[in-house]
Amino acid sequence: MNLRRGLFRVWIVASICWLIFVGSVTYWGVQRQIAEGDAFQRMKRDGFVIGTFCDEAKGQENVDFDKAGKAFNEAMKDTAGQEREWCQYSLAGYHKAHPEEASKTDDQILAANFITDDSHPWQTAFYGLVAAAAAPLAVLLVWFVGTWVMAGFRKSEKPS
């Protein structure tokens, strides 16, 4: 029985399982970020919507802001426990109703309302690749160093 060869084969199988696991986790993360980026671009094209409670909304209803609707209000009640009506501004309507924020750019207003494009699918894929490769290589490196250290404690075979 060759212990080194057996352990090397175990390392190969474990590395393949690790690569499959990290690849699947990274794949779904990248897909989610691509979908978020697409949604952000679609919102950018169609017009952003900034939400607030209707009793806190400034401006004229159906001019500067619109009511979100019964389904959205019920969702707010279920998730946040709020029984208040929800209204939505277009970005232009928000600017018109909030002249005190005229010095802010659209990006600053959107960021203040938690609407940001925080998707970086290529960066996530790269980190997944690094994680997938680093762990098996680190184990292999530890194995090589361990066998080298253990080889130093072996009795030397001197010819007689």
Is residue 131, in this structure, part of any structural domain at all?
A: no
Is residue 158, in this structure, part of any structural domain at all?
A: no
As beta bridge partners, residue 29 has: none
Is residue 90, in this structure, part of any structural domain at all?
A: yes
How large a percentage of the chain has pLDDT more than 70?
88
Residues 62 and 22 sit within 8 Å (Cβ to Cβ): no
Mean pLDDT for the chain overall: 82
Is residue 99, in this structure, part of any structural domain at all?
A: yes
Question: Does the pTM exceed 0.75?
Answer: no
Determine the Cα angle at 101 with ends 99 and 104, to 5°: 135
157 has pLDDT over 80: no
Q: What is the pLDDT of residues 49-63, one digit of tens each?
A: 777 778 888 888 887
Is residue 12, in this structure, part of any structural domain at all?
A: no
User: What's the number of domains the chain is made of?
Assistant: 1
Is residue 95, in this structure, part of any structural domain at all?
A: yes
Q: What is the pLDDT of residue 109?
A: 76
Is residue 109, in this structure, part of any structural domain at all?
A: yes
Structure tokens belonging to residue 40: 């952000």
Q: What is the pLDDT of residues 73-95, one digit of tens each?
A: 777 777 777 778 878 888 788 88
Q: What is the pLDDT of residue 88?
A: 82
What's the domain range around 52?
47-118
> If you average pLDDT over residues 91-114, what whole number do you get?
79
Is residue 59, in this structure, part of any structural domain at all?
A: yes
